Amino acid sequence: MPRKQIAKFSVQHLSILDENGKLDAKLEPKLSEDELLEMYRWMRLARGLDERMLKLQRQGRLGTFPPNTGQEAISIPVALAMKEKDWFVGAFRELGGRLVRGEPLTSTLYYYNGWEEGNILPDKDFRIIPTSVVIGCQIEHAVGLSWASRYKGEDSATVCFIGDGGTSEGDFHEGLNFAAVWKAPVVFIVQNNQWAISIPRESQTASQTIAQKGIGYGIPCLQVDGNDPLAMHVAITEALNRARKGEGPTLIEAVTYRLMMHTTADDPTKYRTKEEEECAWKKEPLIRFNKYLKDKGYWDDAKEEALLGEVKAKVEEAVKEFESPKDWQQDEPFKHVFGTEHAVISEQHKDFLANVTREADHG
Amino acid sequence: MAKLNMVQAINLALHQEMEKDKDVIVLGEDVAVDGGVFRLTEGLLDKFGQDRVLDTPLAESAIIGTSIGMAMAGLKPVCEMQFSGFSYLMMGQFEAHATRMRARTHGQFTVPMVIRMPFGGGVRALEHHSESREATYAHLPGAKVVIPSGPRNARALLVAAIRDPDPVVFMEPKHSYRAFREEVPDNEEVMALGKSQVVQEGTDLTLVSWGAMMRPTLKAAAEVEKKHGTSIEIIDLLTISPLDSDTVVESVTKTGRCVVVQEAPRSFGMSSELTARINDKAFLYLEAPVQRLTGFDVVTPYFGREKSYLPNTPRVVHAIEETLNF
């Protein structure tokens, strides 16, 4: 028998607003001035908070954290396209998306300063899942959440983020496979920022694209310019529609660049060049989006200045709240191991409190 | 009231809890059409349909990972690990999320789920099908570990595990699956988790065990009682974590002597934890060191050698006699 081709696949790339601010008008989404400006304001706020956090960390006022700068055009358009009942399952570079979903600015400050209180939302119905520090686990949680929402008959889709490094984890593959078999209403977004700490994209996977990993599981996929908020808006809208119509999961590879260090404990000069970083800075999303808005006549320097002032005020207000005294108790963890009484934990709780007193007396 | 073996009793618990609560979902490898490789989930698919009884692809981590998501959304997944030896593939998800979500969010999100898994030796199975690793799970804060020893308590404990607000590892001693039958009431029966059971009262020595080891333990006690006229108190732990050491301590303050029988390797195991707790609470009552009669700290041999490695009645008898004669 001659060999014959039995399947053929292709991967598309979507870009609408390029790094020079050049627009493909045919693909431009129909977003109103208000919607576009809302998107831009969130992006500026996320950038402003991120920059402030880096200063706080360097001053010893905040713990180690992973900066988000340069990746605002991914999670913000995504979160803006989501509905209230949708689940937002982040990795750890979705600060903007979390803010859009309603997470207070202080939450991320508490979280990265070592307080579980940063995970606690004003209301569980915000449907934001806490960060999974272990890379990739959240993919499977998202599949379970989306399965549960369909089982309960909710009009709800789940959006789950992961990084390029995360796509090497077994959970990524197991989760995609489950999602496809279950036709789960979920959208997977890979923030391909080219670097997983010191490992470059080409050492992470031999795939030509990350998007094509969806093909292996029977999941429609798309590569998007992740620094282009318009393209991200189009991609997520299509994917959420598929999910809501019962057509199953989608995999979106959002191509971006990690402009900063992995976390504040990392030093990228050890493994990449200044030239590479400088080149990436020219492509970052805020420059092109600002130009686009100005070209449309929606924006000008005076508005920009006013916005930067607003962002600064909001961020400073959050920092003030973050640094205000709290009555959070040291023995809190004893109350949240189980939802039922536990004799040994109660005994150790007493012991812990006695130690606190002993230490206080000791001076 | 019907005479059921452990497989039937667990199946009854699943049927009744699924009937009662539509949030209870059963998922795992071969659990639906096939009814589970040991037939624990037989009949569930026909009765509750494919929306509630899910044959999953073959991936232990994803079975638990997706169940965590389901549980966070308010469902109560009861998932099956086909054998405990494959459960290490889900350990990342279990340790990193199932056991921590409550603490991570101060209870805003919780993970009420049950992970059922057959474990233990004695069935002449392939590698990875005969280990007893309950201590591995019991060591994790936030995890509950339950091991029934017979049909009746298996049914009543599984009901409690499904209704528990936290993740429960429900380890089923597969050697006991079809080994014997017991009367199991038709109506609902629930046994509280975290409670061990005094199955026989006595005054001279406390004998503690759990799971499949209860049978050689009971036999050995009867033999020693007959031979020496000794009065032995026997405790079935039932829940491994939270460990009800109070019942054991109370017994040891009365008897002054204790033997713990465990199938698992000795070091860092439940019998060591129990010994430590007896030392904490009943040191001055002890007439002899607490004896740990356990498996060996070797990699579980293939089944050709299995019999000589599992604790058995003669070894338990010997341990009891040594402790009595100390």
Q: What is the pLDDT of residues B251-307, one digit of tens each?
A: 999 999 999 999 999 999 999 999 999 999 999 999 999 999 999 999 999 999 999
- Give the separation between CA B116 and CA B93, rounded to whole angstroms: 15
Sign of CA pseudo-dihedral A348, A354, A356, A359: negative
- Contact: A337, B97; criterion CB under 8 Å: no
- Give the separation between CA A263 and CA A65, rounded to whole angstroms: 5
Q: For residue A37, give every residue at least 6 positions away whose Cβ sits within 8 Å of its Cβ, in sequence order, or none.
A: A293, A298, A299
Active-site residue, A150 included: no
- In the three-class reduction of DSSP (H, G, I as helix; E, B as strand; rest coil), residue B116 is classed as strand
- Give the separation between CA A235 and CA A224, rounded to whole angstroms: 7
Closest chain A residue to B99 measured between Cα atoms?
A: A337
User: Between A120, A178, A342, which is nearest B62 by CB?
Assistant: A178
Phi first, then psi, for residue A189 (nearest 5°) are: -120, 115
Ramachandran class of A167: left when φ > 0, alpha when ψ lies in -120 to 50, beta otherwise: alpha
Please report, rounded to a whole number, the percentage of residues in chain A having pLDDT higher than 70: 100
Q: What pLDDT, on the 0 to 100 scale, is given for residue B270?
A: 97
Closest chain B residue to A179 measured between Cα atoms?
A: B66
Query: Residues A271, A292, A298, A358: which is the catalytic one?
Result: A271
Beta bridge partners of A23: A17
Tell me the average pLDDT of chain A: 97
- Give the separation between CA B170 and CA B190, rounded to whole angstroms: 15
Q: What pLDDT, on the 0 to 100 scale, is given for residue A155?
A: 95
Beta bridge partners of A250: A187
- Give the separation between CA A170 and CA B95, rounded to whole angstroms: 16
User: Between A121, A148, A345, which is nearest B75 by CB?
Assistant: A148
| pLDDT value at A121 more than 80 | yes
Beta bridge partners of B173: B119
Closest chain B residue to A336 measured between Cα atoms?
A: B103
Q: What pLDDT, on the 0 to 100 scale, is given for residue A124?
A: 82
Whole-angstrom CA distances from A20 to A30, A72, A89 are 21, 17, 32
Which candidate in A88, A123, A128, A140 is best for mutational testing of the B interface (most B CBs within 10 A)? A140
pLDDT digits (tens, 9 = 90+) for A307-353: 999 999 999 999 999 999 999 999 999 999 999 999 999 999 999 99
What's the mean pLDDT in A1-22?
Answer: 95
- Contact: A340, B165; criterion CB under 8 Å: yes
Chain A positions touching B72 (Cβ under 8 A) are 129, 141, 144-145
Strands A87-89 and A158-163: parallel
Domain boundaries, chain A: 15-323, 332-362
Q: Which amino acid is at B299?
A: V
Q: What DSSP designation does A263 have?
A: S
pTM for the whole thing?
Answer: 0.96
What's the mean pLDDT in A127-150?
Answer: 97
Beta bridge partners of B236: B197, B209
| pLDDT value at A123 more than 90 | no
Which residue's structure tokens are 């990875």? B128
- Give the separation between CA B38 and CA B177, rounded to whole angstroms: 9
Phi first, then psi, for residue B167 (nearest 5°) are: -70, 130
- Residue A3 CB coordination number (10 Å): 5
Asked, as a colleague might, if the bond just before A104 is cis with ω within 30 of 0, I would say no
Longest alpha-carbon distance in chain A:
87
- Give the separation between CA B293 and CA B236, rounded to whole angstroms: 15
Q: What is the pLDDT along chain B (326 residues), one digit of tens a residue?
A: 899 999 999 999 999 999 999 999 999 999 999 999 999 999 999 999 999 999 999 999 999 999 999 999 999 999 999 999 999 999 999 999 999 999 999 999 999 999 999 999 999 999 999 999 999 999 999 999 999 999 999 999 999 999 999 999 999 999 999 999 999 999 999 999 999 999 999 999 999 999 999 999 999 999 999 999 999 999 999 999 999 999 999 999 999 999 999 999 999 999 999 999 999 999 999 999 999 999 999 999 999 999 999 999 999 999 999 999 99
User: Between A120, A121, A178, which is nearest B56 by CB?
Assistant: A178
Using a CB–CB cutoff of 8 Å, tell me whether A78 touches chain B: no
Helix axes A72-81, A229-244, angle to 10 degrees: 40
Q: How far is CA B249 from the centre of its chain?
A: 21
Nearest CA-CA partner of A260 in A93, A56, A98: A93
Nearest CA-CA partner of B187 in B23, B13, B26: B13
Alpha helices in A82-207 (DSSP H): 95-100, 105-111, 138-151, 170-182, 201-204
Query: Residues A98, A262, A288, A292: which is the catalytic one?
Result: A262
| pLDDT value at A363 more than 80 | no
Beta bridge partners of B144: B168
Using a CB–CB cutoff of 8 Å, tell me whether A363 touches chain B: no
Closest chain A residue to B194 measured between Cα atoms?
A: A342
- Give the separation between CA B6 and CA B1, rounded to whole angstroms: 14
Chain A positions touching B109 (Cβ under 8 A) are 124, 129-130
Buried b / exposed e along A158-184 (16+ C-beta atoms within 10 A): bbbbbbbbbbebebbbbbbbbbbbbbb
User: Between B69, B106, B109, which is nearest A148 by CB?
Assistant: B69
- In the three-class reduction of DSSP (H, G, I as helix; E, B as strand; rest coil), residue B10 is classed as helix
pLDDT digits (tens, 9 = 90+) for A202-237: 999 999 999 999 999 999 999 999 999 999 999 999
- Give the separation between CA A168 and CA A175, rounded to whole angstroms: 12
Q: What DSSP designation does A199 have?
A: E
CATH code that applies to domain A15-323: 3.40.50.970
Q: In this structure, are residues B93 and A140 in contact, taking their beta carbons and an 8 Å threshold?
A: yes
Tell me the helices (H) and strands (E) count for chain A, helix number first: 12, 9
Chain A positions touching B92 (Cβ under 8 A) are 134, 137, 171
Whole-angstrom CA distances from B155 to A272, B17, B177, B243 are 60, 11, 12, 20
Nearest CA-CA partner of A182 in A216, A140, A210: A140
Nearest CA-CA partner of B54 in B21, B77, B37, B75: B77
Q: What pLDDT, on the 0 to 100 scale, is given for residue A231?
A: 98
Q: How far is CA A213 from the centre of its chain?
A: 20
Buried b / exposed e along B90-105 (16+ C-beta atoms within 10 A): bebbbbbbbbbbbbbb
Tell me the helices (H) and strands (E) count for chain B, helix number first: 12, 14
Phi first, then psi, for residue B56 (nearest 5°) are: -95, 160
Nearest CA-CA partner of A214 in A16, A15, A10: A10
- Give the separation between CA B266 and CA B290, rounded to whole angstroms: 13
User: Between B65, B71, B73, which is nearest A171 by CB?
Assistant: B65
The superfamily (CATH) of domain B2-184 is Thiamin diphosphate (ThDP)-binding fold, Pyr/PP domains (3.40.50.970)
Chain B positions touching A132 (Cβ under 8 A) are 96-97
Chain B positions touching A332 (Cβ under 8 A) are 106
The CATH number of domain B197-324, selected from 3.40.50.920, 1.10.3720.10, 1.10.10.10, 3.40.50.10490: 3.40.50.920
**pLDDT tier, A92 (very low <50, low <70, confident <90, very high otherwise):** very high
Beta bridge partners of B202: none
| pLDDT value at A48 more than 90 | yes
Q: What pLDDT, on the 0 to 100 scale, is given for residue A361?
A: 87
Positions of CATH 3.40.50.970 in chain B: 2-184
- Give the separation between CA B21 and CA B13, rounded to whole angstroms: 12
Which residue's structure tokens are 């465990």? B262
Q: Which amino acid is at B218?
A: L
Q: What pLDDT, on the 0 to 100 scale, is given for residue B1?
A: 80
Nearest CA-CA partner of A177 in A208, A154, A143: A143
- Contact: B97, A141; criterion CB under 8 Å: yes
Q: Tell me the shortest Cα–Cα distance from B255 to chain A, in angstroms.
A: 23
- Contact: A339, B70; criterion CB under 8 Å: no
